[in-house]
């Protein structure tokens, strides 16, 4: 897989100064190339905050594109349990208590387990993965996630031969997630993957951003990231991962089955009733750019051989 390119040797530790220096270099570089003076980043983009995570490896899977600034990734969010406007999650995340936090793995597995998130981090180690992120609302970002492969958790749990799908359940607690007091969705937010999707090396459980612990609004302390799928597949604040025989229900397809499918693969050829998927707006850019099939991660296409491409939505 040509895309599976490591920027730094194993063992190199991500250093925030390196990030900031790279961002500054890119900012000045772009300005120089255009002969323009770019504005300094806004106050919301003062830079990453929160505890530093021990990242040991860095992989760029966004083709060297400049990551979207921290300020945008953490203030333009979809997390309906914290409000339905884009700015609501950042405003309302203060009540979410991401530590201590346990993740339960159960269902069709030989080793059901309940582990503290920090124990999972110690066990699997952390890498930084820069991925494109594409929302079904036709906006996109480039995000430097920190996490570990979902496949590592699958291996640890040892699924039985009956396990065909993985169901993700997120926190149900209106005290911490005030948006759950309104029946916008059928809470808790749930998502699912086929097991072969779950063990694909691109599927990630993220616990951080820009080398720091994940802010509440981005799905603290642990969320799913599946870069070839629309963002709604990326369940935030996960508490349970269950291995099941049948395709599990997913929040958005349960609410509007004609608008959202189980797969949610990024597909420029299949429009959503409200959003053409042919083009997308990268946050921070003016012109729209063409949407890439599978969000540019075409190596996953063999997973869907034989399926009607329209059913991939
Ligand atoms: N997870 C939970 N628990 N609740 C949500 O409302 N929204 C989804 C997904 N995960 C959502 C969620 C949607 S629609 C998108 S596009 C992404 O989170 C947004 O992730 P971001 O805010 O980190 O960009």
pLDDT score for 309: 82
Task: For helices 117-124 and 150-157, give the axis angle rounded to 10 degrees.
Answer: 100
Q: pLDDT under 50 in the chain at which residues?
A: 1-43
Pocket test for ligand 1, best of 188, 234, 264 (most atoms within 8 A of CB): 234
Pocket test for ligand 1, best of 84, 218, 232 (most atoms within 8 A of CB): 232
Residue given tokens 């759950």 in the structure block: 180
- The answer to whether 99 and 221 have CB atoms below 8 angstroms apart is yes
DSSP H helical ranges for 144-280: 150-157, 195-198, 251-255
- How many Å lie between the centroid of ligand 1 and the Cα of residue 10? 31
Nearest to 143 by CA among 206, 67, 226: 67
* Residue whose CA is at the smallest distance from ligand 1 atom 5: 79
pLDDT score for 311: 75
**Domain locations along the chain:** 10-312
- How many Å lie between the centroid of ligand 1 and the Cα of residue 11? 31
Pocket test for ligand 1, best of 140, 169, 219 (most atoms within 8 A of CB): 219
Residues with CB under 6 A from ligand 1: 77-81, 135, 170, 189, 218, 231-232, 234-237
pLDDT score for 29: 37
* Residue whose CA is at the smallest distance from ligand 1 atom 8: 232
pLDDT score for 173: 98
pLDDT score for 47: 87
Say what the pTM is: 0.88
CA distance 4 to 110: 31
pLDDT score for 36: 33
- How many Å lie between the centroid of ligand 1 and the Cα of residue 9? 32
Counts of helices then strands in the chain (DSSP H, E): 7, 13
pLDDT score for 304: 96
- How many Å lie between the centroid of ligand 1 and the Cα of residue 150? 18
- How many Å lie between the centroid of ligand 1 and the Cα of residue 232? 5
pLDDT score for 28: 35
Give the phi and the psi of residue 44 in degrees, each rounded to 5: -65, -15
Nearest to 192 by CA among 128, 136, 238: 238
CA distance 251 to 80: 11
- How many Å lie between the centroid of ligand 1 and the Cα of residue 81? 10
* CATH T-level assignment (fold) for domain 10-312: Sulfite Oxidase; Chain A, domain 2 (3.90.420)
């Amino acid at each position: 897989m040509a895309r599976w390119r490591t920027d730094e040797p194993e063992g190199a530790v991500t250093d925030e100064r390196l990030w900031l220096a790279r961002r500054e270099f890119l900012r000045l570089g772009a300005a120089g190339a255009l002969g323009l003076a770019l504005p300094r980043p806004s106050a919301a983009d003062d830079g990453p905050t929160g505890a530093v995570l021990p990242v040991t490896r860095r992989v760029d899977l966004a083709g060297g594109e400049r990551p979207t600034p921290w300020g945008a990734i953490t203030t333009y969010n979809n997390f309906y349990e914290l409000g339905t406007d884009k700015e609501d999650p950042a405003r309302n995340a203060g009540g979410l208590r991401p530590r201590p936090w346990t993740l339960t793995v159960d269902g069709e597995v030989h080793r059901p387990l309940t582990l503290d998130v920090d124990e999972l981090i110690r066990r699997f180690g952390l890498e930084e993965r820069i991925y494109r992120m594409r929302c079904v609302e036709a906006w996109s970002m480039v995000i430097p996630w920190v996490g570990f492969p979902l496949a590592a958790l699958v291996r640890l749990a040892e699924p039985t031969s009956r396990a065909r799908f993985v169901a993700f359940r997120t926190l149900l607690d209106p005290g911490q997630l005030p948006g759950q007091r309104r029946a916008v969705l059928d809470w808790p937010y749930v998502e699912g993957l086929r097991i072969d999707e779950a063990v694909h090396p691109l599927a990630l459980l993220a616990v951080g951003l820009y080398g720091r612990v994940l802010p509440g609004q981005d799905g603290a302390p642990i969320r799913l990231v599946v870069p070839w799928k629309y963002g709604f597949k990326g369940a935030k604040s996960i508490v349970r991962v269950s291995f099941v025989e049948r395709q599990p229900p997913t929040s958005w397809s349960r609410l509007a089955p004609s608008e959202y499918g189980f797969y949610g693969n990024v597909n420029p050829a299949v429009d959503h009733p409200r959003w053409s998927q042919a083009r997308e707006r990268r946050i921070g850019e003016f012109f729209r750019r063409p949407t890439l099939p599978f969000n540019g991660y075409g190596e996953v296409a063999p997973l869907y051989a034989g399926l009607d491409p329209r059913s991939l939505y």
